[in-house]
Amino acid sequence: MSRLIVISNRVSAGGGAQGGLAVALSAALREHGGIWFGWSGNETSEFTGHINFERIDGVTTATIDLEEQDIEEYYNGYANRTLWPLFHYRIDLAEYERSFAGGYQRANERFADTVLPLIEPHDLVWVQDYHMFPLGKELRSRGLANRIGFFLHIPWPPRRLLATLPEARQLVEGLLAYDLIGFHTEEWLQSFGDYVREEMGGTIDAQNMLTVDGRTVRLLACPVGIDAKEFAAHAASEKAHETYARVRESAVGRTLIVGVDRLDYSKGLEERFLGYERFLTENPAERKEVVLLQIAPPSRGSVDSYQRIRSTLEGLAGRINGAHAGLDWVPIRYVNQGYPRDMLAGVYRASKVGLVTPLRDGMNLVAKEYVAAQDPEDPGVLILSRFAGAAEQMGEALLVNPHSAEEISDALSTALAMSREERIRRWRKLMQNVVEHDVMWWLKRFTDALREKVSN
């Protein structure tokens, strides 16, 4: 069987704090052999192309260091200040700078130069995410004839939004060098197809085979999942029980509502707080019976928009708590810290409502983790944004428009009043999907499709 070469911006094989995605990719690399290649996360004074090899828990990793200018322009710049906001529909935050685009291209050329000698003729090459759109094309131009797949972990924006990016066409043309392009949902796939049809005169057939200028690429909607079994095991662990008990005790008999997100403007935290505030105002009888526990560790702190969202949220939580708190009750507990997965499982299970309301999200794995951690006899209720990719699979959640404080408030009322029978009925369907479409299913579906030959 062919080896797998996984290429992603960061490499996270091994270690106890791995998420399901890293666990799945590590498992595939252990099974098939191969290499996980990417940026080490470290800076070097001058780029040399030196590769650091490591063997971590049976997985071979190969990483390179980047120069300060690469990190500024490629990672903090084009990836996080241009593509991330634009692809999450926030052109108001997207910064279009030629130096960012240039640095992004240069870093991708450096990735291509260094990874190329590691790839053997029958290897399957799998490139992950928006940091590396041009990599396939760079590898092709260096003569690589292997099957190369690309998976996008974030949304694909509507055509007219993408058109605001000066390098839009170049970016899409670069993607046509891959054999297979995967998206989480039909919606993101359709948006990509629209661009290629309307702006480039491409055609797409009923099997999602895209043809432009004589080149054919397969498109695939393939939603990522979690390692459901592993997560349920976390939920049954001693640490989870301990955390469950601690969190319940600290709520002193009140019902917990939980939010767990990276601190990112795409996650809709501000809107969530405002929706919760509306609920408190509209339901005076319920007020002191609930507590919102929001866990949000800071991310990408060197980007301005992330510093701004952090201070906005601190101000908002302070204002809401100031306006509503009493001597023995604070409505929002806002924690800026990450927790190990077994503790998170305990927190999810202790919470009667999971509030997952991103304004836009490629998939959102927290929604699936919340479901997997519930007690089957007495499960909590998931409130989920219609604009998360996960909503396509999780119709039994209470789906809301995260921009509407009224809808969030109404959904909280509905969730808190929901009968046990109804909670169990919804949870079973959600759980069935989480288990069936887990991360191993995703991995197999994508790699099987990548192996299938398409004539070009």
Residues within the interface to ligand ADQ (CB under 6 A): 19, 21, 153-154, 224, 260-262, 295, 297, 338-339, 344, 361-366, 369
Minimum gap (Å) between residue 264 Cβ and ligand ADQ: 6
- Rounded Cα distance between 4 and 57, Å, is 16
Minimum gap (Å) between residue 412 Cβ and ligand ADQ: 20
- Rounded Cα distance between 415 and 440, Å, is 31
- Closer CB to ligand ADQ, residue 329 or residue 339? 339
- Closer CB to ligand ADQ, residue 184 or residue 278? 184
- Closer CB to ligand ADQ, residue 260 or residue 320? 260
- Closer CB to ligand ADQ, residue 114 or residue 357? 357
Q: Which of 153, 184, 234, 437 is catalytic?
A: 153
> Under a CB-based contact definition with an 8 Å cutoff, are residues 375 and 335 in contact?
no
Residue 59: which H helix or E strand, with range? strand 59-67
Say which residue the tokens 């996980």 belong to: 36
Minimum gap (Å) between residue 223 Cβ and ligand ADQ: 9
- Rounded Cα distance between 228 and 439, Å, is 8
Transcribe 241-309 into DSSP letters: HHHHHHHHHHTTTPEEEEEE--B-GGG-HHHHHHHHHHHHHH-TTTGGGEEEEEE--B--TTSHHHHHH
Cβ atoms within 10 Å, residue 122: 10
Transcribe 102-138 into DSSP letters: HHHHHHHHHHHHHHGGG--TT-EEEEESGGGTTHHHH
Say which residue the tokens 């601690």 belong to: 246
Minimum gap (Å) between residue 216 Cβ and ligand ADQ: 26
Q: Specify the 3-state DSSP secondary structure of 204.
A: strand
- Closer CB to ligand ADQ, residue 49 or residue 395? 395
Q: Active-site residue 153, yes or no?
A: yes
> Under a CB-based contact definition with an 8 Å cutoff, are residues 9 and 115 in contact?
no
- Closer CB to ligand ADQ, residue 269 or residue 365? 365
- Rounded Cα distance between 251 and 303, Å, is 35
Burial readout 249-268 (b: 16 or more C-beta within 10 A, e: otherwise): eebeeeebbbbbbebbbbbb
- Rounded Cα distance between 435 and 374, Å, is 13
Regarding beta strands 124-128 and 4-10, do their DSSP bridges make them parallel or antiparallel, or are they unpaired? Answer: parallel
- Rounded Cα distance between 323 and 332, Å, is 11
- Closer CB to ligand ADQ, residue 70 or residue 342? 342
Q: Which of 179, 361, 437, 438 is catalytic?
A: 361
Residue 72 DSSP class: I
Minimum gap (Å) between residue 17 Cβ and ligand ADQ: 8
- Rounded Cα distance between 191 and 300, Å, is 27
- Closer CB to ligand ADQ, residue 181 or residue 224? 224
Minimum gap (Å) between residue 332 Cβ and ligand ADQ: 15
Minimum gap (Å) between residue 83 Cβ and ligand ADQ: 12
Give the active site residues: 153, 361
